[in-house]
Chain A
Amino acid sequence: MMMDSENQGFEEAQLYSSRDQMENLVVKEQLSSKSFSNYRSAMSSLSETHHPLSPPTILTPADSDPLLAPTIDRDVRNPKASDRLFSEPLHFSDVNSVPFDGNSFSDVNGVESPSKSSESSGGLSRSSSSNLEYIQITVSNPQKEQDVSNSIVPGGNSYITYLITTRTNMAEFGGSEYSVRRRFKDVVTLSERLAESYRGFFIPPRPDKSVVEGQVMHKQEFVEQRRMALEKYLRKLAGHPVIRKSDEFKVFLQVQGRLPLPTTTDVASRMLDGAVKLPKQLLSESAIAPQEVVQPAKGGRDLLRLFKELKQSVTNDWGSSKPAVIEEDKKFLEKKEKLRDLEQQLSAASQQAELLVKAQQDMAETLGELGLTLIKLTKFEHEEAVFNCQRVRAADTKNVATAAVKASRCYRELNAQTVKHLDVLHDYLGLMLAVHGAFSERSSALLTEQTLLSDLSSLKSRAEKLEAASSKVFGGDIARIQKLEQLKESIRTTEDAKNVAMREYERIKENNRSELERFDRERQADFLSMMKGFVTNQVGYAEKMSHVWAKVAEETSSYSKENN
């Protein structure tokens, strides 16, 4: 990773790359203080101990901690990935027990790796540094539990919970280690609450619900897949500089027992109240019923309905079917178009990456099978040998067989690493969903604002007309006066709502902007890192294989035509 100390801009933690290797280092980047203060003003009551101006150095929460070495092989496709059984040291690079990636290997080959200095001691160097912030999350220990509250059906309604362990030194958490049990439903709740609170942010998408039958739910493979997906998801959340400090996230990771987040909520009313009260209630231990929080302001029930209707009109597309929203920001529209192209190409590249992985896998298999067949042939020839030339042939065959088996292993290991590197493509493809979501929140907020504006103007014109009419009648019509009063009340409420909506829209726009910036930056870094890792990996294993085969070529050189 980049450790160019001369550069003022530092790179952000790479959470989108799900690499198990150690050395994704210490990268420092903060949100621009402007966007951060906007965010803070929106959440004005939040006690925020994090000072926007101090440089938070964020570490990948990943498996870099040697104390918490991943026991589970994350590579479903290559179960033998951790198998490294060269019985003899083949190559100097083999001495490094670490798979080839941009860091450890590049040294050996003489290619300058700027991050040389920081990798060698693995996770230890990081944790010892006091100004380095890290958060590490592990999901483990799936257990079956019964839903006791629903005791109508005895023994029915069982579900799986997972142990979620968090290790962190982040000040916001107020502690260093937490362990809670959560079920998948809780994760869904968390993702929904985050979606509401962080409109306009690129929130990593949660794992799919997977509609499966009851029996399958408990099958080991499914549970394991889900465990991995949950871990990946939580780590991604932890990699988001804003979300990792959110109350929802903290509550999810820390609070024992039942998850104290509302499973449904009335967005409209929260917007009306400025969405201020909710997080505060979550953090404090006092139990405030969710219904109280969402009690709308006086006279706002009409507007509740209004907001609900407006929200329903949000579609999760690139804004093609809703003519009502007039997005005037040209730069934004350009960016959106570009992102659409990116998504398309990313999808294609992601597919081809999968096919490449499969081809490497097949190669490994066939080489292995060839090797085994030749070994059988060797044994046979050796045992049945009548003439000496047969023994010679058996020995030759054995050399080739051994080489083929070694090459097969090389391909397998190469592939295990390739999967990890190219996963970055898949991850970013998944993230595009989050981008979609963020953009549609913006559309929806703009729609709300524009609708309110037009409603306001129509209310005002009605009031004017009524005023003009009643002024002609001396003394006034009591009914008309009352009606006018009501209208004026509506206007006031609508005016308030409009202001809230405008603020919300601006807030979301700003979130979009800062996220886009972060997205572009991180994507650049992640993709370049991915490319380096991928290429370095290929070089490493190609060299290994070249060495293996060169040896056999040497051993059989007497047979070559040139020598005859």
Chain B
Amino acid sequence: MEQERSMPVSLLSPRSPSSQPYLSVSVTDPVKLGNGVQAYISYRVITKTNFPEYQGPEKIVIRRYSDFVWLHDRLFEKYKGIFIPSIPEKNAVEKFRFSAEFIEMRRQALDIFVNQIASHHELQKSEDLRTFLQVEEETMERLRSHDSGIFKKKPADLMQMFKSKVSDIVLGKEKPVEESNPEYEKLKHYIFELENHLTEAQKHAFRLVKRHRELGQALADFGKAAKLLGACEEKAVGKGFSELGAKSEMLSIKLQKEAHELLLNFEEPLKDYVRAVQSIKATIAERANAFRQQCELAETTKLKEINLDRLVLMRSDKAAEAEVEYKELKAASEEATKRFETIVVLMNQEIIRFQEQKTLDMGLAFHEFAKGQAHLANGVADAWRSLLPKLEALSVS
């Protein structure tokens, strides 16, 4: 899986490294480390860049899944309003945790995750990203375990918290203040609907992968039975069945291959799409929080102002204190307003980026899907077609 998958063209210029700034990352080489319950997978993260803050043209570090989680959580905290790229889910059924396919799927997803960050014009400047890509393993471990205290909740849980909060708000269960922005309402509605559609599509895509495997198995078994039948029969028929059986078994392999391709090139991108939408929902929740804070602070400030005016009028000695408090509150309120407005601005930009990115991502996924299916169909047609003259010859003899 190429690392440049989601990179805008402007950052892809390995041919002239000195001219254009570039940052290219690849997550490779999954290796199982440790034993028993403590066992985990480590990945090689290779960074190629000419960013001045980064070390050298190339740097390789070893990272594990929880390091990626650390990066994600820090970005989520720092860059409110930006749709933070999503990481693959943590929970995996124990026995599949080390299956080759699962490892490959996760590696691919992590690779996409880092690259999406590296190609985001704001996120790529993040110091946390630089830390993640550059520091030594021991430092990384220290940071990770230190921060795990603060970010106690797993991303999935965080999502869950925000999800329910957001849907509560959207459904009007909670009564706190809400933006009265029809365009934004439309967007929220769109996002929620989109998640439903995409989840369903991903489900069917996953089933399609399974069907390919099942068909492959059926062909293998049928092929075997045909060969055994051929062994019972004589002359032409025996030979015919043997050939048929052999072809069937060969095609079974092709189907298993296609199942794998389908999983990585079609189903996973759809899953990634779903996660991206969920990331937007998290941002929506953040925005709602920020809005609420802004409103509350504005309200409180207003009250404080009224109170202050009263005290001044009464020439109370509490007026000075009140003024200080009022000024602090006003500053906080302005901060909150600024935070909220930043989120709004960022979200507007992000939505455009998101839509454009997804058109490219899905376009590619569709292309790979169609290509894979065409390739499979061709293989099937060729294999069976090559059998026809043989069968023809057997019929005549």
Chain A interface (Cβ < 8 Å from any Cβ of B): 2, 4, 106, 109, 111-114, 338, 341-342, 345-346, 348-349, 351-353, 355-356, 358-360, 362-363, 366-367, 369-370, 373-374, 376-377, 380-381, 384, 386-387, 389-390, 392-393, 396-397, 399-400, 403, 407, 523-525, 527-529, 531-532, 534-536, 538-539, 542-543, 545-546, 549-550, 552-553, 556-561, 564
Chain A residues, Cβ within 8 Å of B362: 393, 396-397
Q: Are B200 and A373 in contact (CB under 8 A)?
A: yes
Interface segment among B59-67, B219-227, B302-310, B317-325: the answer is B219-227
List residues of chain A with CB within 8 A of the CB of B291. Answer: none
Q: List 15 A-B contacts (CB under 8 A).
A: A109-B385, A342-B233, A345-B225, A349-B222, A360-B218, A366-B210, A366-B211, A370-B204, A389-B355, A390-B359, A392-B363, A393-B355, A399-B366, A527-B240, A553-B371
Are B201 and A532 in contact (CB-based, < 8 A)? no
Contacts of A377 in B (CB 8 A): 197-198, 201
Partner of A523, one of B215, B237, B381: B237
**A-contacting residues, B379-397, CB 8 Å:** 380-381, 384-385, 387-389, 391-392, 394-396
The listed residue (A366, A545, A556) touching B367 by CB distance below 8 A is A556
* Cross-chain contact A527 with B233 (CB below 8 angstroms): yes
Cα A114 to Cα B218 with chains together (Å) = 32
Please give the distance in Å from B387's CB to the nearest CB on chain A.
5
| Complex contact A341–B377 (CB within 8 A) | no
Question: Which residues 324-383 in B have Cβ within 8 Å of A in the complex?
Answer: 352, 355-356, 358-360, 362-364, 366-371, 373-374, 377-378, 380-381
When the two chains form their complex, are residues B201 and A111 in contact, meaning their CB atoms are under 8 A apart? no
CA distance A356 to B216 in the complex (A): 9
Which chain A residue has the least Cβ–Cβ distance from B199? A373
Q: Looking across the interface, which residue of chain B has its beta carbon closest to that of A6?
A: B396
- Asked if B169 is an interface residue, CB under 8 A from chain A, the answer is no
At the interface, is chain B mostly helix, strand, loop or mixed?
A: helix
Query: Which residues of A are found within 8 Å of B369, using beta-carbon distances?
Result: 400
Docked-complex contact A362 and B214, CB < 8 angstroms: yes
A535 touches B388 (CB 8 A): yes
Q: Which among A111, A353, A380 is the interface contact of B392 at CB below 8 angstroms?
A: A111
User: In the complex, which residues of chain A have a beta carbon less than 8 angstroms from the beta carbon of B96?
Assistant: none
User: Which of chain A's residues have a CB closer than 8 A to the CB of B150?
Assistant: none
Among candidates A352, A536, A561, residue contacting B225 with C-beta atoms closer than 8 Å: A352
Flag if A564 contacts B370 (CB, 8 Å). no
Q: A117 CA to B320 CA in the complex, in Å?
A: 110
Given A532-B395, A549-B374, do A360 and B215 touch, yes or no (CB 8 Å)?
A: yes
Q: In the bound complex, what is the Cα–Cα distance between A396 and B210 (angstroms)?
A: 24
Interchain nearest-CB distance for A250 vs B (Å): 34
Residues of B within 8 A of A349 (CB): 222, 225-226, 228-229
Picked from A338, A358, A531, A549, the residue with its CB within 8 Å of the CB of B373 is A549
For B394, the chain A residues whose CB sits under 8 A away are 528
A351 to B367, CA, bound (A): 37
Q: Which residues of A contact B221 (CB under 8 A)?
A: 352, 355-356
A524 near B237: Cβ-Cβ < 8 Å: yes
In the bound complex, CA of A351 to CA of B229 (Å) = 12
Q: Does residue B90 face the partner (Cβ distance < 8 Å to A)?
A: no
Q: How far apart are B51's CB and chain A's nearest CB, in angstroms? A: 22
The count of chain B contact residues (Cβ–Cβ below 8 Å) is 71
Contact A524 B236 (CB under 8 A): yes
Report the separation of the CA atoms of residues A550 and B215 in the bound assembly, to the nearest whole angstrom: 22
Pick from B201, B232, B355: contact of A373, CB below 8 A.
B201
When A359-B211, A366-B208 are in contact, do A539 and B225 touch as well, CB less than 8 Å? Answer: no
From the candidates A4, A341, A359, A531, name the one contacting B218 in the complex (CB within 8 A).
A359
Chain A positions within 8 Å of B392 at CB level: 111-114, 532
Contact between A561 and B363, CB atoms less than 8 A apart? no
Residues of A within 8 A of B236 (CB): 524, 528
Checking A363, A534, A564 against B211 with a beta-carbon cut-off of 8 angstroms, the contacting residue is: A363
Q: Report the minimum CB–CB distance from A401 to chain B (whole Å).
A: 10
B240 touches A528 (CB 8 A): yes
B218 touches A358 (CB 8 A): yes
Beta-carbon contact of B359 and A393 below 8 Å: yes
Nearest chain A CB to B243 CB, angstrom units? 8
**Complex interface: chain A residues within 8 A of B384 (CB):** 535-536, 538-539, 542
Which residues of B, 146-168, contact A by the 8 Å Cβ criterion? none
* In the bound complex, CA of A523 to CA of B186 (Å): 68
Inter-chain CA distance A543–B376, complex, in Å, is: 10
A553 touches B370 (CB 8 A): yes
Of the listed residues A106, A359, A381, A524, the one surrounded by the most CB atoms of chain B closer than 10 A to its CB is A359
Q: Which of B218, B240, B241, B373 contacts A356 (CB 8 A)?
A: B218
Given contacts A359-B215, A397-B366, A556-B366, could you give 10 more A-B pairs where the C-beta distance is less than 8 Å? Answer: A353-B222, A362-B214, A366-B211, A386-B355, A403-B373, A543-B377, A549-B373, A552-B370, A559-B363, A561-B2
